[in-house]
Amino acid sequence: MALLTARDLSLGYDSRIIVSGLNFTVSSGDYLCIVGENGSGKTTLMKTLLGLKKPAGGQILAGDGLKANEIGYLPQQTVTQKDFPASVREIVLSGCQGRSKKRPFYSRDEKKLAEKNMDRMGIIPLARRCYRELSGGQQQRVLLARALCATGKVLLLDEPVSGLDPKVTAEMYELIAQLNHEGITIIMISHDIGSAVQYASHILHIGDSVFFGSKDEYLESSAGKNFMMQQKGGDGNDR
Amino acid sequence: MIDKLGMYLQYPFVRYALIVGILIALCSSLLGVTLVLKRFSFIGDGLSHVAFGAMAIAAVCDLTDEMLLVLPITIISAILLLRTGQNTRIQGDAAIAMISVGALAFGYLIMNIFSTSSNLSGDVCSTLFGSTSILTLTQKEVWLCIILSVAVVVIFVLFYNKIFAVTFDENFAKATGIKTERYNLLIAVVIAVIIVLAMNLVGSLLISALVIFPALSAMRIFRSFKGVTICSAVLSVVCALAGILISILAGTPVGSTIVAVDVAAFAVCYVAGRIGGRG
């Protein structure tokens, strides 16, 4: 059974519908990339999947025993975080919050989990460093470790490589692919269609035309071909 | 000088002032870090002006216990202000400025029109800048202050991790199933309580200083949230203590002396942070 199923989903703010008629499924172990032009509703879709927003219509079904708060989330960075005095360990630990609803403090298991995930991301040496002094790539690793504390199943990544230089971007993609190999389902919003088709197993294209299918199907589809052409033409201008 | 201090400390009102001053400084600094980081530095200012307006109404209505009116009105305003955080027509800073100035104007207007006091400008001045009222506390007020302060500290410690998560990344916290609205509400109520308490100490114009200075000073030096929180609490208490003692010895106004010490502490921390290699 699928982890997440979107059935006739429509998204929008207030009464303005941005996208409608979305149907897709995410199965365990998938690597789904959500692509589309700016303003096509990618971030809105992500917020809806996370339960931060109610869908304007249709529904999202969670299967395979996936609970709503078992989704790990890597958000885009906010202005507040750029100047936030917090150590790496504190931030990673805060990913365990969803587990300890009633308890005010972290348990030993949660501290171990945080340690394990910092190790996975290779940021143990940074544990006591201040978040705002880290480089962009290191900050993303910290937030990824935090997201891993919140889930063992699904990661939602919102433009995980925006603002990173090419070398760090490549490392980040490798890291995500490795997590996918370890069995974690990945759902990623991306501007970078080239890398999307390189790593993803499935593509969801939203915009004027909606497409959902495997990567190979996407490359054959008209939506895919057009979008690839556009991106190649306007590479680098989309930020 | 020690003798003089010892002599003063024999008076219960001086001891009360010290107890209340330290407790308020402690409470206000705890939430200061969160407020500064959430870009709500000015909420202290806004809310204290609301409290000033409410006090004016209470005075006109001749209420014997002002707290009954002032506290609820301030809490409601705090909730409204912190709720406007995102996706509203009026931005957070504009909303705070609006409520702050509006309440100040109305408070003064009401006091002017209906006042029965012969020394109106004196009354207004003492509410705005804090006054001798911290030296005229009754035992009942001191107890009330102790109880509320303990409540604030206990709430803060119990919810410390949640407050951190909500401050650092509200969306993430919400996505992992934390009821962020509930914690924002909690923060709003606590900050309102602190501000009403603090009005006695420094008056409504200077409260912001008590909330933001210790947090900003601590942020110059420490790099972890826990470090910043603890440092700002310690700093705030030390500054308040020093401020009150200086004001007793030198006969200066209590509120502005405490704030002056806070400013000096910030300067020291800033330089220390620079020397320590951080800007």
pLDDT digits over B76-114, tens only? Answer: 888 887 775 554 555 667 777 888 888 888 888 887 887
- In-domain check, residue A219: yes
Instruction: Quote the number of domains for chain A.
Output: 2
A45 falls in which pLDDT band (50, 70, 90)? Answer: confident
Cα→Cα distances A34→A156, A206, B200, Å: 10, 7, 56
Pairwise CA distance, residues A3 & A70, whole Å: 11
Residue B175 and residue A50: Cβ atoms within 8 Å?
yes
Domain limits at A233? 1-66+153-239
Tally the domains of chain B: 1
Q: Are residues A19 and A36 in the same domain?
A: yes
A104 pLDDT above the threshold of 60 = yes
Token pair of A207, please? 């915009």
Q: Is the predicted pLDDT of residue A191 greater than 70, yes or no?
A: yes
* CB–CB contacts below 8 A, A to B: 93
Tell me the torsion sign for CA atoms A152, A153, A156, A157.
positive
Contacts of B82 (CB under 8 A, 6+ apart): B40, B43, B184, B185, B187, B188
How do residues B139-150 score in pLDDT, each as one tens digit?
Answer: 887 888 899 899
Do residues A118 and A233 both lie within one domain? no
**Cβ contact A41:A20 at 8 Å:** no
pLDDT tops 70 at residue B119: no
What amino acid occupies position A127?
A
Spatial contact of A227 and A42, defined as CB atoms under 8 Å apart: no
pLDDT band at B234 (very low <50, low <70, confident <90, very high): very high
CA B61 centroid distance within chain = 26
Residues A157 and A59 in one domain: yes
Measured CA distances, A103 to A88, A205, B183 (Å): 22, 41, 15
Are A185 and A24 in contact by the 8 Å Cβ rule? The answer is: no
Same domain, A141 and A38: no
Asked if A158 and A221 sit in the same domain, the reply is yes
**CA gap B269, B279 in Å, rounded:** 11
CATH number of residue A14's parent domain = 3.40.50.300
Query: For position A239, what pLDDT does the model report?
Result: 39
CB distance A86–B168 less than 8 Å? yes
Domain assignment present for A72 = no
**Strand A202-205 to strand A185-189: parallel, antiparallel, or no bridges (unpaired)?**
unpaired
Residue B196 pLDDT greater than 60, yes or no: yes
Pair (A223, A158) in one structural domain: yes
Give the single-character DSSP code of A87: B
Please list every residue in chain A whose beta carbon sits closer than 8 Å to the beta carbon of residue B158.
Answer: 104
Binary contact (B171, A71; C-beta < 8 A): no
Q: Is residue A171 part of a domain?
A: yes
Q: CA of B221 to nearest chain A CA: how many angstroms apart?
A: 10
First to last CA, chain B: 39
Percentage of residues in chain B with pLDDT exceeding 70?
A: 87
Query: How far apart are the C-alpha atoms of B232 and B77, rounded to whole Å?
Result: 26
- Evaluate if pTM is beyond 0.90: no
How, if at all, do strands A202-205 and A31-35 pair?
parallel
Asked if A2 contacts A26 with a C-beta cutoff of 8 angstroms, the reply is yes
B-proximal residues of A, 98-137, CB under 8 Å:
98, 100-101, 104-106, 128-130, 133
Whole-number Å distance between alpha carbons of A119 and A115: 6
- Indicate the pairing of strand A57-62 with strand A71-74: unpaired
Q: Two tokens at A112?
A: 């171990």
Cβ distance A84 to B168 less than 8 Å, yes or no, reads yes
CB contact under 8 A, A87 and B158: no
Could you tell me if A205 and A228 lie in one domain?
A: yes
Helix, strand, or coil (residue A11): strand
Contact B164 A84 (CB under 8 A): no
- Which letter, b or e, does each residue of B212-221 get, where b requires 16 or more Cβ atoms within 10 Å of its Cβ? bbbbbbbbbb
Say yes or no: A123 and A98 in one domain.
yes
Residue where the block lists tokens 């919400």: B174
User: Which of A92, A125, A152 is the last residue in one of the domains?
Assistant: A152
Please give the structure tokens belonging to residue A209.
């035309």
Give the residue-averaged pLDDT of A121-131.
87
What confidence tens digit (pLDDT) does each residue in A18-29 have? 788 888 888 888
Mean pLDDT of chain B: 82
Domain that holds residue B244: 2-275
**DSSP of B54-70, one letter per residue?**
HHHHHHHTT-S-THHHH
A157 and A58 part of one domain: yes
The verdict on A158 and A235 lying in the same domain is yes
pLDDT for A58-69, tens place per residue? 888 877 667 666
Nearest CA in chain A to B34: A84
Same domain? A139 vs A25: no
| DSSP bridge pairs for A35 | A205
Order the strands of the A185-189 sheet from edge to edge.
A71-74, A154-158, A185-189, A31-35, A202-205, A211-214
Q: What is the ipTM of this complex?
A: 0.82
Q: Are A64 and A30 in contact (CB under 8 A)?
A: no
Residue B172 has pLDDT above 80, yes or no: yes
Verify that A94 and A148 share a domain, yes or no: yes
Greater model confidence, B244 or A163: B244
Q: Does A69 touch chain B (CB under 8 A)?
A: yes
Work out the number of other CB atoms within 10 angstroms of the CB of residue A21. Answer: 11
What is the rounded distance in angstroms from the CA atom of residue B185 to the CA atom of residue A108? 30
Q: Which range, of A94-108, A157-171, A197-211, B31-45, averages the lowest pLDDT?
A: A94-108
Q: What is the CATH number of the domain that holds B223?
A: 1.10.3470.10
- A71 domain residue, yes or no: no
Measure in Å the smallest separation between the Cα of B26 and chain A Cα atoms.
20
Average pLDDT score over residue span B254-261: 88
Identify the CA nearest to A33 among candidates A212, A204, A174. Answer: A204
